[in-house]
Structure 1
Amino acid sequence: MPTALITGATAGIGAEFARQLAARGHDLIAVARDVDRLKAHEAALSARYGVDVEVLPADLSDSEQRRSVEDVLRTRSVDVLVNNAGFGLNGRFADTAVDRLQSQLDVNVASVLRLTHAALPGMVERGSGSVVNVSSVAGFFPGTGAAYGATKAWVTAFTEGMSASLTGTGVRMLALCPGFTRTEFHARSGDDTAGIPDALWLDAERVVRDCLHDLERGKTISIPGKRWQAIVGVGRLLPPPVLRTLTGKLAARRNRT
């Protein structure tokens, strides 16, 4: 059976990746901080789909714990790596504790870099494998949470560059860039989502289904939902100064509420 390693696997998009990949016959290595939720998730997936699910507790903001995940990727045959773990922070940059910002950078950026670096040699040697990096449409719009958006812009740019460099190796890389998705993410970030129209919300099942379909088609960026594809498309057509001005005004309005 093929094996998939998924970070942030206990809830939201990560849990849905675990479910859909298990349904496709993948054994799983589930990485997250919450051991109890990991074990409950393992039991449910094993019972339902008859796959092996290995629990790997790790806080990816901690370099030692992250190294344990890197070691697994270097020494085991992992066919699919899903770099899903990540978090946002609400509030002004200057008012946020720098250690929290550093943790965000470690999870959202350093972990993607290091886990991908650990997984790729084995995939290239075998001539097959896939890496999915969960990014966000926030990466296309500067000013919508400056630090968070910057981390996601890096994830998307990194994935595009790596995908090009892997041409001909049999290894695929894709950046998943969802818009607002109904998960625990926004509540954990402290975001006020009351004013977001229902039409802009996605569900995790749709996000992951579209992502896996795009991965099979050989796409490098997956933006689930036609509305979000249109929003990103328009944003890319705007001159950078105009885009910065618009998103800056939105960010200022958000910080006043």
Structure 2
Amino acid sequence: MRVSVVVPTYNEEDYIERSLRALRNVGAHEIVVVDGGSRDRTLEIAEKYADIIESSSSLDSPAKARNAGIKLSTGDLVAFIDADTVVSTSWLEAIMKCFRNEKVVGASGPAYPLENDSLLIAPYIFVYDILVRMTLLVGRPHFLGFNCVYRRDFLERVSGFDERVRVSEDALLSMEAIKYGELKFLKDMSVYTSARRLKTRGIAESLFYLFYNGPSVIFLDKPFNYYPRSSESPRENRKGERA
């Protein structure tokens, strides 16, 4: 099996080199960078590590970028990592071992803070480990877009991520995936991801996403700012912020 890793970017010069270097160090078979029209050194840095690079201002949301990456990639498995996320040394090995089971269609793993801040460890374990395991346990998995992997045939069958929503396209995909096979949460498929979104949003907005948007997605299939099938997809935040 070959694993392609899709990395959406937009003005990520401060983070992307560390992310791509880690992917190369663990032996990622193919790295696909899909850029939304960066105006900084993101693409210049990406050229040193990526196998495939696509850049267009029309790729202005994580869902669009990831879907473009699926089409550009060639691996049997397609993984997704954000530009401010660094994979652990056991990340790829955990994926390869898990997908030897042909019943498995998708997988994810825990996330820890990229920043050296002990105050972030407990919230990360709660949100990016315990809560994710709980959603999988109740059959409504909420796998995170900055650390997930799926079989290509499944992604092609469902046309990838839902581009009609502003947030939680990753959770909607994992809840669809469980209908097609087994999903696994792998402790060794761990990553380190930046807390910048938490710091940018602040406590109030973060709690809103956790206690309103999260349950709405898990139990009603409706994230905040849900756009029904008859509506056109909204133009996403150009910085690619996610749920």
Band of TM-score, shorter chain: 0.3 to 0.5
Higher Rg of the two aligned structures? 1
Choose between structure 1 and 2: higher helix proportion: 1
- Structure showing greater relative contact order (alpha-carbon pairs closer than 8 Å, 6 or more residues apart): 2
Q: TM-score, normalised by structure 2?
A: 0.35
Choose between structure 1 and 2: higher strand proportion: 2
